[in-house]
Structure 1
Amino acid sequence: MAYKREHMKYCTLSQMFNDAVVKFGDCRFQWWNSGPGATESNTYADVGIIVKDLCCGLMEMGIEKGDRVAIMSYNCPQWLWADYAILNAGGIVVPIYPSFSLREMSYIVNNSGAKILFVRDEGEVEKVLNTRDELISIQKVIIMDENCPLPDDEFFTRLSTVRENGRRYLRKYPYCYEKRWRSVEMWDKASIVYTSGTTGDPKGAVHTHQTFIAANNVDFRNFAFNEYEVNEDDVCLSFLPLSHTYERQCGQFVATHCGCTIAYCDNPSTLMRDIQIFRPSYFMSVPRIFERIYVALRDQASSTPEGKAAFDKAMEIGIKVIDYRSDENGFIDMGFDIDLAEGLPEELKKEYEWADQIIFSKVRQLLGDRFRISFSASASLPPDLCKAFLAMGIRVCEGYGLTETSNTVTLNNLRRLLPGSIGPAMWNVECKMAEDGELLFRGENIIQEYWNNPGATAEAFDEDGFFHTGDIGVFLADNYIKIVDRKKSIMVLDTGKNVPRAKVENGFSTSKYIEQICAIGDDRKYVAALIVPNFEYFIEYFKEQNIPFDESQVVYEGEGAEKIVVSVGEDFVKIPQLVELIDADIQAHNQNLENYESIKQYKILNRRFLESLDELTPTFKVKYRNVLKNFAEEINELYENQ
């Protein structure tokens, strides 16, 4: 049964949640893996009871309107319970990435003044124990996983205990829950979201119920503009960190309003497995994950040398089709009713029908029968990668937003999709460009302050209230926008030439051989790069070709089929076949760059850039300052003779 939708009304997140519990009571709300081959789920009514208990438990613990409560956990059903319980209590949610360092975690807790901290499991409990004396404002830590051992310490309690206390509190004060959540107002602070950033201490972007709801309204209408009505039959796959506004607002909040199911991926490394388990209708992702999805789909659809050759041929044909169907400015109609083979010249049509039958249809099957669309943000999606997905009949819509804008301020439209662009500005925001090309936005979904940081607030906004994004852009046809790079990521060579780092790096997004890259060039004579090979590919390649390497030096992370290679021996990256393939990849990409932009020197590394070493953000963007610090010796070698 499908409910007729109306546009998002302007109400608080608390009102939205409680309305959804009533409207979609028996519909599935949450869905997750509970063990090998097994899943469990909760309905909207189930979650409504849990959140009510938990909210009343927080009130019993003394949480008042405006108090800050932190959540430090990877994605799980309990994250949503805690989120809505805090919001319904009138509290301010402070998300903390569990991958943050002890110093970053302590800084956020103390800067926000959080009184209570939700954690999920032993890893987060250990972090708390290691920093307990520094967590000055925290009065109690709530452990959400019932299987996690409870320390013999009154500082810790279980979520089940808080729920039980909440039920008692509700029996004593029968109207406390409804009275509290109904007292929440639109301009009340809802969340302080700290930017992970690549430099300096995180800044706390203060979002109100108004900014989040305004963002929800935009995203819900974007679905409508793309002729897609999300409802309770749909499944949204959640795998990006809920600590980031992208997954939390575009995923969790929009799904709640529409009554659809949120399925929880165990972690990004299990993404393809979980896609096949939950068969999502849509999901949010970032370019780095789209690169992994592309590689995984390619490998699963072409497991033999003959299959790989067929895949490459099919992709060549598919890109021809996308280019043929694109207009003079590069726009293409990818509406849900479009058949890419329709209207093609006879020979190209036959070729595409072959490619679709042999390769692309199998690739789409891997995404499941429900899949409709995916969204890309957080960094620029390379146009070649976007075209590759479109060629396979997989719809990817690129948009743009920041923590401070509560996500979407621009988005492509399926009817006029322009690969390499972030689309036009949304109807509810104003966009202009500064003299240096920096994009500026003003609108009701944008924050008005950073927490306890008036200096940063003043720096971020101009006298007319426009927010400075820090991103350099250019306007294309029909007011579509292309991101050139982060303002701080444009490398300035000692010759005075400006080189967008993204332009150098994005050319390797579909590379078989290069997994990660960090371009270098600031105050240097030429551009150089640190290269991380696709270790998994080369391990398989070396074994197929009987090329020896020291397997004892291969270090893995994860277990079973989800293992990834973290590092290899020095011998591995010196094997001639690897060196030759990577060099050929780099020289081919250099042909697409100006001479001063091209990579003149590079170092092939024997380990990945790692989030655990603070070299990647939680959304997989390289933290350049930390990478340059950690690989200072290797970088100096690249410029010894400049």
Structure 2
Amino acid sequence: MPLQPSVLPDPSAERYDPALLTDRPASVGALFRDRVRRTPDRIAFRYPTTDADGVDTWHDVTWSQADRRVRRLAAGLVALGIGPEQRVAIASGTRYEWALADLAVMRSGGATTTVYPTTMPEDVAYILTDSESVAVFAENAAQLAKLEGIRDAVPALRTVVVLDGDVASAADPGWVVTLDDLEARGAELLETDPGVVDARIDGARPDQLATLIYTSGTTGRPKGVRLLHRTWTYQAAACQAMGTLGEDDLQYLWLPLAHVFGKQLLTINLQLGFATAIDGRIDRIVPNLAVVQPTFMGAAPRIFEKAHAAITMAIAAEGGVKQRMFDWAVAVGGQVADVMEHGRRPSPLLAARHRVADALVLRTVRARFGGRIRFFISGSAALNPDVARFFGAVGMPVAEGYGLTESSSAAFVNRLEAWQTGSVGWQIAGLEVRIADDGEILLRGEGIMDGYHNNPEATAEAVDADGWFHTGDIGELDERRFLRITDRKKDLFKTSGGKYVAPSAIESSFKGICPYVSQLVVHGDQRNFVSALVTLDPDAIGAWAAAHGMAGRPYAEVVTSPEVRDLVQGYVDELNGTLNRWETIKRFTILDHDLTVEAGELTPSLKLKRKVVAERFADVLDAHYT
């Protein structure tokens, strides 16, 4: 798949209609209504249903069909007594009904509180209480049971709407309704007051609260980030200004919709009108891509790391001519991608070699991802540059971006016509950026949060008197204003010898070197050397074990074996060869289990909870220094 050369010299060369940023709908509800009016018969969403044999069937929903259902659900919320800016929580995984529920809240004038389905009951109680949520969309019986267990701790909560299933399991059926029940109540209200939903949309203001997203809390109690309607309409307009996406695109969306990245991707299709296929099952991503054949997808770096490792290890297992041909083709694709990145076109000879490489190898790799991917978007954590180069080489460039919940997701992103591997690209239209004296990235603009809910002290710490949001990330802008993230300010540590170490950069590098790794946790604050915890990907190391006489042995036995220790040591030695002396990993321990979201060691967006891990494995880490 041919790339376009990077030709723009700096962000000021971007061309977009300024009216995109100034002439915006007042609210997300108005944005959705406008989209329905413009393209009522185009596909808006695709979603799967699974039969008893586990076979998926995909269903298409047009914008007008989605509108009819959302309108009834919004009216149902009005019938429940939901008023302007009143919070309605959604405790569910990523699914089509999440989108319906959120759009219904937007059109009713309410505000959505997002809740990860994996959140522990005590944290759910805190979020619902702090947000003053009066209703909750609960995904299933398990989420309903969680809410029933904390009901006494959340006195403001009046109603639970179950997305999947009935209310038979409810201890108090009068407290619970199904999604169909809510829709029926809305249909009844619309018969007597057909303009009730439009009246709510017309009454919504740009500065009205739209969403409360609680930071996933890599440290401490989560904070509720207040995002207004103008925040989301700005994000949608700024993404359109890039000119990368259009109505004919098809998005595959699996990211947690409780996370700001997923929520943003669910909002920009209202502006641009492309279709979105929704399925949050992580184990179905690759199979679904082959069926859905999307043109783009957003993901966390771990997804790209796993896919890269699976492909390269499968080829390595083949060996011989097949591996040599694969390596040659990827090398040729990499040369073309590098030329394009520097604003040039490949020579006729290189272009001819690339056509052969594409026909023999690269096209086959793309077919595993559906064959129509124009690009991926990577966010939420640093992507290893070698992994990014691999995908660029096979013709599926990864547009790495940067943003935070507090910046309503996107702040910087690489463009297909202007990208730089290892950077997070240019700032989006309308966003101001400064680099503080200590290297911290400061942001200002309409995408910045309204503050932390019920937490003025934290807000004052994060946003200064001039409106600059202090991100807590360290970075630098090059001469073309591409931003490179160095590390999280709070994650930087100093060894006892006085040397600073950026752990996430080392961790990202290792994931590009070792195809078996799942997590590397670098440690060494005030220690005399750097050490690490290592976890291995169960699928990858399982394949290795089967090829090395350990088939069928338990994961814990395999990863703690001397053979695997030697395997990992080789990759650590390779990593150390790229590091400064004080950064090198002198000792490491391979844990007998992987880190997980369910255990509270990773956030739902797959970011490491560094403090939690350090505290949980303090004895293991301390043993490195005894």
Q: Answer yes or no: same fold by TM over 0.5.
A: yes
Corresponding residue number in structure 2 for 1:634: 620
Asked if residue 613 in structure 1 is aligned to residue 586 in structure 2, the reply is no
Q: Cα–Cα, structure 1 residues 427 and 176, in superposed 2: closer, same or farther, change >3 Å?
A: closer
The one-character-per-residue Cα deviations of 1:212-262 (angstroms, maximum 9, x if unpaired) are 11111111111x1xxx4410x32111111111121111x111112222211
Instruction: Write out aligned runs for 1:548-627 (5 A).
Output: 548=550, 551=553, 554=554, 568-569=555-556, 571-627=557-613
Cα distance in 1 for residues equivalent to 2:573 and 2:604: 31
Which residue of structure 2 aligns with residue 78 of structure 1?
97
1:421 aligns with 2:423: yes
Question: 1:135 — aligned with what?
Answer: 154
Aligned to 1:65: 84
Q: Which moved more, 1:581-590 or 1:19-28?
A: 19-28
- 8 A Cα contact 1:516 1:532, kept in partner: yes
Task: Determine the C-alpha separation between the residues in 1 that align with 2:166 and 2:128.
Answer: 25
- Cα 1:349–1:444 change in 2 (3 A) is closer
Q: Would you say 1:118 and 2:122 are equivalent positions?
A: no
Distance across 1 between alignment mates of 2:564 and 2:371: 38
User: Are positions 1:332 and 2:353 aligned together?
Assistant: no
Q: Does the 8 Å contact 1:499/1:597 carry over to 2?
A: yes
Match of 2:414 in 1: 412
CA distance in 2, matches of 1:542, 1:447: 48
Residues 437 and 144 (structure 1), Cα distance of their counterparts in 2 relative to 1, 3 Å cut: same
Out of 320, 331, 347, the residue aligned to residue 343 of structure 1 is 347
Counterpart in the other structure of 1:217: 237
Report the Cα distance in structure 2 between the residues aligned to 1:579 and 1:351, rounded to whole angstroms. 41
- Give the deviation of 1:481 after TM superposition: 1.2
Code of the residue aligned with 2:88 in structure 1: it is: V
Change in Cα spacing, 1:310 to 1:534, as seen in structure 2 (3 Å) is farther
Partner of 2:286: 272
Cα offsets for 1:148-181 (capped at 9, x unmatched): 7542522211111111111111222232121111
Consecutive unaligned residues in structure 1, runs of 5 or more: 555-567
Separation in 2, partners of 1:394, 1:124: 37
Change (3 A) 1:604 1:114: same
Deviation at 1:32, TM superposition (A): 1.4
What percentage of residue pairs aligned between the two structures are identical? 29
> Do 2:234 and 2:446's aligned partners in 1 also have CA atoms closer than 8 Å?
yes
Post-superposition offset of 1:482: 0.6
Q: 1:403 to 1:129 in 2, by over 3 A?
A: same
Q: CA deviation at 1:365?
A: 1.6
In 2: Cα distance, 1:468 partner to 1:81 partner: 34
Match of 2:300 in 1: 286
Task: Confirm or deny: 8 A CA contact 2:141 2:169 kept in the other structure.
Answer: no
Amino acid at match of 2:564: L
Offset of residue 442 of structure 1: 0.6
Change (3 A) 1:220 1:301: farther
Shift of 1:309: 5.1
Judge which range, 127-136 or 240-249, deviates more: 127-136
User: How far apart are residue 301 of structure 1 and its match?
Assistant: 6.4
Q: Residue 270 of structure 2: which of 256, 278, 286 is its match?
A: 256
Aligned to 1:234, which of 218, 230, 249?
249
Matches within 5 A, 1:183-194: 183-194=203-214
- Of the structure 1 ranges 464-473 and 362-371, higher mean CA displacement relative to structure 2 is found in 362-371
Residue in structure 2 matched with residue 531 of structure 1 by the alignment: 534
How far 1:290 sits from its partner (Å)? 1.6
* Aligned residue in 1 for 2:3: none
Structure 2: tracts of 5 or more residues without a match: 1-16
Equivalent residues in 2 for 1:473-552, closer than 5 Å? 473-510=475-512, 511-545=514-548, 547-548=549-550, 551=553
- Distance, in Å, in 1 between the alignment partners of 2:289 and 2:43 is 18
Amino acid at match of 1:178: D
CA distance in 2, matches of 1:488, 1:313: 42
Q: Is residue 2:201 matched to residue 1:181?
A: yes
Cα distance, 1:350 vs. partner? 6.5
**TM-fit CA distance, 1:549:** 6.1
Q: Distance in 1 between matches of 2:620 and 2:583?
A: 20
Contact 1:150 1:157 in 2 (8 A): no
The alignment yields a C-alpha RMSD, in angstroms, of: 2.1
TM-superposed deviation, 1:100: 1.3
Q: 1:313 to 1:529 in 2, by over 3 A?
A: farther
8 A contact 2:309–2:540 mirrored in 1: no
The one-letter amino acid paired with 2:583 is: E
Partner of 2:13: none
Q: In structure 1, what is the Cα distance between the partners aligned to 2:550 and 2:313?
A: 23
Q: Distance in 1 between matches of 2:302 and 2:541?
A: 19
How far apart, in 1, do the equivalents of 2:523 and 2:167 lie? Answer: 44
Are 2:308 and 1:305 equivalent residues in the alignment?
Answer: no
Other structure's SS at 1:202 match: coil
**Quick check: 1:89 aligned with 2:108?**
yes
Distance 2:298 2:609 in 1: 22
| Aligned match of 1:202 | 222
Change (3 A) 1:452 1:379: same
Shift of 1:474: 1.4
Number of the residue aligned with 1:562 = none
Verify the 8 A CA contact 1:302 1:310 in the aligned structure 2.
no
TM-score (norm 2): 0.91
Aligned position for 1:559 = none
Quick check: 1:70–1:118 contact (8 Å CA) kept in 2?
Answer: yes
* Change in 2 beyond 3 A, CA 1:638/1:315: farther
1:88-135 Cα deviation digits (max 9, x unpaired): 111111011111111221111000000001011122122212222222
1:468 is aligned to: 470
Would the alpha carbon gap of residues 244 and 576 (structure 1) be closer, same or farther in structure 2, given more than 3 Å must change?
A: same
Q: CA–CA distance in 2 between the matches of 1:23 and 1:114?
A: 33
- Normalised to the residue count of structure 1, the TM-score between the two structures is 0.89
**Among residues 24, 31, 45, which one is paired with 1:30 in the alignment?**
45
Number of equivalent positions: 600
Of 20-29 and 305-314, deviating more is: 305-314
Q: Secondary structure at the match of 2:252?
A: strand
Q: Does 1:17 align with 2:27?
A: no
Shift of 1:353: 4.7
Deviations 1:297-343 (A, max 9, x none): 445667623444543444344444544x26xxxx4349xxx7xxx31
1:434-480 per-residue CA deviation (whole Å, 9 max, x = no partner) reads 11110001101111311100000100112211000000011223121
The amino acid across from 2:370 in the alignment is G
Indicate conservation of the 8 Å contact 1:272/1:296, yes or no: no
- SS at 2:490 equivalent: helix
Structure 1 residues 280-307: Cα deviation after superposition (integer angstroms, max 9, x where no partner): 1111112112212323444566762344
The answer to whether the 8 A contact 1:460-1:468 is kept is yes
SS in 1 for 2:137: strand
- Judge which range, 147-156 or 93-102, deviates more: 147-156
| Higher RCO structure, 1 or 2 (CA under 8 Å, sep 6+) | 2
The answer (yes or no) to whether the contact 1:31–1:261 under 8 Å persists in 2 is yes
How far is the alpha carbon of 1:577 from its aligned partner? 3.0
Alpha-carbon contact 1:144-1:159 (below 8 Å) kept? yes
Change in Cα spacing, 1:351 to 1:173, as seen in structure 2 (3 Å) is closer
**Contact map agreement 1:29 1:261 (CA 8 A) in 2:** yes
Q: Which moved more, 1:147-156 or 1:482-491?
A: 147-156
Over 3 Å counting, the alpha-carbon distance change for 1:221 and 1:296 in structure 2 is farther
Do the aligned partners of residues 574 and 90 (structure 1) sit closer, same or farther apart at CA in structure 2, a change above 3 Å counting?
closer
Are the equivalent residues in 1 in contact too, given 2:228–2:450 (CA < 8 A)? Answer: no
For residues 577 and 292 of structure 2, what CA distance do their matches in structure 1 show?
42
Distance 1:359 1:310 in 2: 8
In structure 1, how many angstroms separate the alpha carbons of the residues matched to 2:602 and 2:126?
Answer: 19
Letter of the structure 2 residue corresponding to residue 475 of structure 1 = L
